[in-house]
Amino acid sequence: MLLKKPVLGKYTYFNKKSSWLIAAIATFCILVYVEPKPLFFLLSKINFYIAWLLNTLIAYMVVRGSIWGTRLLDNHHPWQRSYRKRWPRHLLLAIAIPLVFCMLGVAVYFLVYQKSIFETNYFKRYLFLDTIAIFLLNAALFFLYQKQASKRKKPERVLLQKPDLEFPLPVAKIAYLYAENKYCFAVDFKGDRHHLDFSLTKALQALPLKQFYMPRRSHIVNRKAIAEVIEKNKIVTAKLLPKLNLNITASRNERRAFNTWWENKAPLNS
């Protein structure tokens, strides 16, 4: 029976060439830092280059292993879904397991020289630095993921031609739009709702983005319909005008962007 190939996240982080470069630089820095002998002396010894080459190979496998574990979790447990669920899995797949393979690789490296890893100073002098290096690598992967995620949250809709949609009432009279049971509606400032013949995603593309925002997938709100925005216990809620009698809570992914949009009091040019 064939094993099903794991589905990885689309973002690839570092390619193979970059991974080799990271592995070589990290290995060089660790070797030079730990060895008490001067750098020029080390560079004059062939054994240093052999150690550098073999340890770079081990480090490359660790880098690719961390990236593989990170991409696997990106697909099944993305950061924005739940940090609480992601962290323990990430510590296991992208940090602990690559570190174990790192130690196994080093053990094989010492066996080449007919030594046991327990007879060397690896655990005393190198293991801590290897652990720090893996944590730094994962911190870089997390930063790249957040940077990529922020790009996905801000599609360049301004550069696209706005679709020509026919709303059931003038855009200026729309207080908010919402989706319910696969149907979409526009609500005016009196609280009366009007049926839409298109999705909220298409509606948002046709609306002025400085005036309207989608704090969650089911709602688009007009800035003029918001009485106040309340932030409490990391929960951001838009309280609409009394006639509308509705509070809209921003999703986890949109909290920061929604606050930024709301705090932007520039004139509405869209």
141-179 per-position pLDDT tens digit: 999 988 887 776 554 444 455 667 889 999 999 999 999
Overall fold of domain 159-263: OB fold (Dihydrolipoamide Acetyltransferase, E2P) (2.40.50)
Question: Three-state DSSP class for 27?
Answer: helix
Q: Band of the pLDDT at 81, cuts 50, 70, 90?
A: confident
Cα separation, 175 vs 194, in Å, equals: 11
Element (H, E) at 236: strand 235-240
Cα separation, 112 vs 176, in Å, equals: 70
What integer is the mean pLDDT of 57-73? 95
Cα separation, 116 vs 239, in Å, equals: 67
What are the structure tokens assigned to 256, written together? 């920061």
User: What are the beta bridge partners of residue 179?
Assistant: 184
Cα separation, 268 vs 258, in Å, equals: 16
What integer is the mean pLDDT of 32-50? 90
Structural domain spans, the chain: 16-153, 159-263
Cα separation, 141 vs 159, in Å, equals: 30
